[in-house]
Structure 1
Amino acid sequence: KACESAGHIFVDRSGPKKVLETIRQAKASLKDGVSLVVFPEGARTFTGHMGYFKKGAFQLADELQLEVVPVTIDGSFQILPRTGKWIHRHRMILTIHDPIPPKGQGTENIKATMAEAYVAVESALPEEYKGMVKNDDQ
């Protein structure tokens, strides 16, 4: 309820029309000048390693010609692993990377921006969590 009150947009994957409604809400927010925080993997990791990025947020940025600002969250896996039941005390570091400006429009731009964002996010992770590991629910 608190998330709804704060204006969070939830991705409803129950059908194509629901996904389109989510995209419409996101576009409206972005056009109003509101920044969106998107978790491009779509799910928490089972291993601490990053999964692959889904393209939805990158398509929106491409369509609206907006910058993408990669952010790395290091330490959240140790605080509460996906399958964990208890919160553990651990340091967490948030790294805000340089914005990635739009390079034009189209599929190649989307792929290039996704790759650049992935490299940026991964660069601030500890060595033990670098390298993609496919998550079972991606």
Structure 2
Amino acid sequence: MAAESVKETSSIAPLLAPAPVEAPVEGAPPATLWTRLHFFWFVGVGLLSTLLIAPLQVITHRFRPTAANFKKWARRWAGMILRACGWRVVWEDRARLSPGQPCLFVANHQCALDILVLSHALPYPFGFVAKAELERVPVLGWAMRHSASLFIDRNNPRRSLESLRLAGERIRQGHPVLLFPEGTRGYRPELRPFKKGAFLLAVEAGVPLIPVVICDSYRCLDERRMVSRPGTIRVVIGEPVPTEGLRRRHLATLMDTVQARMQAMLREAGNHA
């Protein structure tokens, strides 16, 4: 995730974090009265759902501090918001992972809606690797601290390396995590250049990478412009990419391989939409 500054004080802040506004791409929601009203409906539903679900997740985490428990409540939280806003998610699982299989998910990041889509659609327990700013967000940051998620402070290299080390240990113990290798939201169908953090983590942990692509979320929400509309989002969970035997010198090739596969998956998903 990008190391952006979180200025909002509400628990929905990570869904609305500001980003540089570029000209919207073809297919993005237009700025109309309807899309504005839909966006503010989404904000209200998101606030209410977070206030309802986060305390339950934290309480149950005391008794079941597992990724599966976090996944259960995250899926309920996301499902409430998606249904209320008219967002339908369809997904295909090509990975067919065994329960508890160590792995690292990498997904493209088109807009803030992706957090909800992944929480709802991924059929495996996982934790997010999130930017440190989210830890200070009321309610949501509190819930994430009591979950399988980890925070990375990109402004503090020592703490960032320690977070990655902890993520590696957690993955090897059978608790997968998910990262966005683009490092920021793209607001477009094409992938942005990848950063190497996720791939270094997978190589150091010796676990396979699972590419995940989200198709058309950028058509449903653009939080920078405060517009959204109902729609269908496709998710494809790709086949594992092995990293066994790879070293740091192989990172560039691994990144190119995964990026090419994800771009192909995006084109295929778009053609079948």
**TM norm. shorter chain > 0.5:** yes
Q: Is the 8 A contact 1:74 1:124 kept in 2?
A: no
State how far apart, in whole Å, the 2-side matches of 1:126 and 1:92 are: 14
- Say whether 1:68 aligns with 2:68: no
Amino acid at match of 2:202: A
* Structure 1 alignment gaps of length 5 or more: 130-138
Q: Which residue pairs with 2:266 in the alignment?
A: 125
Which has the larger strand fraction? 2
Sequence identity percentage: 28
Q: Which residue pairs with 1:135 in the alignment?
A: none
Larger Rg: 2
Amino acid at match of 1:94: V
Q: Which residue pairs with 1:41 in the alignment?
A: 182
| 1:20-59 correspondence runs (5 A) | 20-59=161-200
> Normalising by the residue count of structure 2, what TM-score does the alignment of the two structures yield?
0.43
Offset of residue 27 of structure 1: 1.4
Which SS does the other structure have where 1:92 is aligned?
strand
Offset of residue 100 of structure 1: 0.7
Runs of 4+ residues over 4 Å off in structure 1: none
Cα gap change, 1:108 to 1:17, in 2 (>3 Å): closer
Q: Is the 8 A contact 1:71 1:121 kept in 2?
A: yes
Q: Which residue pairs with 1:134 in the alignment?
A: none
Q: Which residue pairs with 2:226 in the alignment?
A: 85
State how far apart, in whole Å, the 1-side matches of 2:233 and 2:240 are: 22
Offset of residue 123 of structure 1: 1.1
State how far apart, in whole Å, the 2-side matches of 1:82 and 1:55 are: 26
> Normalising by the residue count of structure 1, what TM-score does the alignment of the two structures yield?
0.81
State how far apart, in whole Å, the 2-side matches of 1:111 and 1:103 are: 15
* Structure 2 alignment gaps of length 5 or more: 1-141
Q: Which residue pairs with 2:238 in the alignment?
A: 97
